[in-house]
Amino acid sequence: MTSTLTWAQLRDLKCAELEGAADGWGRSSNRADAARDRIEQQLLTGLRETQEGEAAQAAVARLRQLGRNFQYVYTECGLLRTTLNSLAHEMKTQQRVLKDALDDAAALKFTVHADGSVTYPAGGEGLVDGAPLRGGTAASNGLPGLVPPSGLVAPNPNVAKAQDVADRVAGAVRAAAEIDWRYAGILRRLKAEEGLKVPDATWKDAAGDAAAVRDAAGAYLKDAIPRDASPAERRDWWAGLTQEQREEYLAVYPDQIGNLDGIPALVRDAANRDNLSLLIGELEGRDDEKSATQLAGLREIDRQLGAGTQPPMFLLGIGDEGNGRAIVSFGNPDTAKNVAAYVPGLNTSLDRDFAEGDLKRARDTAIAAQDIDHSSAVIAWLGYDAPQTPDGFASFAVMGDERANEGGRAFSDFMGGIVETNETGDAHLTAIGHSYGSRTVGAATQQGDGIPGVDDIVLVGSPGVGVDNADDLKVGSGHVFVGAAENDVVTKLPSKQQVAVGAATGPFAYFVGDVMDQGDDDLWFGKDPASQAFGARRFPVDEGPHLVGPRGVSIDAHSQYFDPERDAVSADSIALITAGRSSEVKMEEPR
């Protein structure tokens, strides 16, 4: 287009050629994606299984770099495709506006000139002599709706109609020129770096490219994403898209699709792996402490994804909002007969500790569960902002219900998505809550009829779950299992009322009250889940290290429930429940 757009140029624009070019970039994107898949699913897997030594390690590193290069090509070509399709979409909208205006002009026998002015014929009757009033020409002044007043000055009825046509023609041309200018800027920045390597700095640029295309493609793609729909409606929406539409959403909105409950696990995994690279590139450009902390967690997750560990990892969610989001499944939750989701608790955030520690808990549980029933998957679910204490476990006063209630709603939606995408027909689902995560699981059970699809609930290291009886968790008291170590201080927290009394007697009494139970069944968030009054089934666990020992204060008793080496009895019990074999779990007396 020329710098000064005319309505004739807009009318004659062949949007099909833009869409054809978009298809070509789409084919290039798909080829790059297929090449990346072959590297990651075939070449790297085969190399790891058959070769060892420094040479093999070097080859793996080179192949991983090549895979990242293809991922970059896939991303940028996909962005080009969507940019061109979105440009065509917006231009066709203005072409329709122009066509309607030209059709109206033709029907009224008006003439639309090259400059957009509109000549109209004589019409109406003069107020004095009754003769037809002469015709004329109307031109848009850029302010639609401002027409000459009626009466003695300009009573010709064609004046207002001609002015309307002129304004619509000018408006379509003006909007098209703005669209042309906006997309020209986006296309200019969509260019690859020189050379064969794709360093983090390039991914930073790619993140900026994606953001620009997302802003431009809002009406074309983003507005149709069913964010407020149910998981079932989202599943149906995705199933109803064409393959080309799916590819565009994955290329431009991996952050949206990857975190949408109800979308199949394989799709979410592909989207989130792409978004992970974009997030790493985006956070690389920041120098604040939060970004550095999250970047360390993202890099460790990326390392594990690239290591090809078993069970296979599926990245079901990733994001930098709040304290960070990460949902990782060990095993495919859509094809497994047994699916467990583990909700971590106090002080958990997207950092290296989560990526190393919490993911290990889920992986250890998945390995043990698959030894019992190979069709099992275990998910580490960090889909909410867990409370963060400023000084570790020195005070639990920061623990309120708000984070649990918000997280409970999100967890309920997530499990609803698992129900909709699981292909086995009647999967056995388990919700596992640790520490404050048990309170979050408890809050999730209070949504509607309970957590969708969940058959069993496991609570370990719990400060209470917000209800006073196991039956209130809506799976039946016989399906609520509790592990509470003798030396786990969190399972012996006093009630809030007891802390208030302690605080009234002085700072020392407050500290003691904040970490020691007063001898009854009341904890911070209600009845002790391990108590007889609560009515759950308690399985044996190791007592854990004492709070105060030779090496000082230790809270390790709170963190070893999933560890097959430090607490094999507890880890095995959780695995049996996960695999649907809770009848084989040995029980002990409640407190």
* Per-residue model confidence as pLDDT tens digits over 362-373: 999 999 999 999
**Could you tell me which residue, 577 or 214, shows the higher pLDDT?**
577
Question: For residue 547, what pLDDT is reported?
Answer: 79
Can you give the pLDDT at residue 361? 97
Handedness of CA 263, 245, 184, 114 (dihedral sign): negative
Rounded to an integer, what distance in angstroms lies between the CA atom of residue 354 and that of residue 348?
7
The pLDDT assigned to 553 comes to 66
For residue 504, is pLDDT > 50? no
Q: Which long-range contacts (CB under 8 A, 24 or more apart) does 449-453 make?
A: 449/474, 450/474, 450/475, 451/411, 451/412, 451/415, 452/412, 452/415, 452/416, 452/418, 452/419, 453/415, 453/416, 453/418, 453/419, 453/422, 453/427, 453/429
pLDDT class of 151 with cuts at 50, 70, 90: very low
Band (pLDDT 50/70/90 cuts) for residue 502 is very low
**Residues 568-586, mean pLDDT to the nearest whole number:** 97
Residue 173 near residue 91, CB atoms below 8 Å: no
Question: Looking at residues 393-412, what average pLDDT do you find?
Answer: 80
DSSP three-state, residue 42: helix
pLDDT at 261: 97
| 520, pLDDT greater than 70 | no
Average pLDDT of span 168-182: 93
> How crowded is the C-beta side of 192, counted as CA atoms within 13 Å?
16
Q: Residue 3 — pLDDT band, cuts 50, 70, 90? A: low
pLDDT digits (tens, 9 = 90+) for 200-216: 677 777 777 877 887 77
Identify which has the larger pLDDT, 156 or 468: 468
pLDDT of residue 554: 66
Percent of the chain with pLDDT over 90: 59
Q: What is the pLDDT of residues 19-74, one digit of tens each?
A: 999 999 999 988 988 998 888 878 887 887 788 888 888 888 888 888 888 888 88
Cα 211 to Cα 190: distance, rounded to the nearest angstrom: 12
Tokens describing residue 201: 């700095």
Q: How confident is the model at residue 301 (pLDDT cuts 50, 70, 90)?
A: very high
Collapsed DSSP state (helix, strand, coil) of residue 313: strand
Q: Sort strands 480-483 and 537-538 into parallel, antiparallel or unpaired.
A: parallel
Tokens 């390597």 belong to which residue?
197
pLDDT classification of 91: cutoffs 50, 70, 90: very high
| pLDDT at 535 exceeding the cut of 50 | yes
**pLDDT at residue 9 greater than cutoff 80:** yes
**Nearest partner of 464 among 489, 485, 490, judged by Cα:** 490
Mean pLDDT confidence for 566-572: 96
Q: Tokens at residue 92, please?
A: 């066709």
DSSP 347: T
Q: What is the dihedral of CA 327, 329, 334, 338, to 10 degrees?
A: -120
Q: Can you tell me whether residue 441 is helix, strand or coil?
A: helix
State the average pLDDT over residues 435-443.
Answer: 96
Which pTM value belongs to this model? 0.80
Q: Which of 191, 273, 187, 179 is nearest to 220 (CA)?
A: 179
Q: Is the predicted pLDDT of residue 529 greater than 60, yes or no?
A: yes
**Is 150's pLDDT higher than 60?**
no
Q: Which of 8-12, 262-266, 412-416, 521-525 shows the lowest mean pLDDT across its residues?
A: 521-525
What type of residue is 491?
A: T
Q: Say yes or no to pLDDT of 510 above 60.
A: no
Most confident region among 80-89, 219-228, 444-453 by mean pLDDT: 444-453
Q: Alpha-carbon distance 242 to 55, whole Å?
A: 44
- How many residues are given for the chain? 591
Maximum Cα interatomic distance, the chain, rounded to a whole number of Å: 114
More confident residue, 521 or 539: 539
- Residue 507's pLDDT is 41
Question: 88: which 2 tokens?
Answer: 């065509």
68 half-sphere exposure, CB direction, 13 A CA radius: 23
- Report the pLDDT averaged over residues 81-110: 93
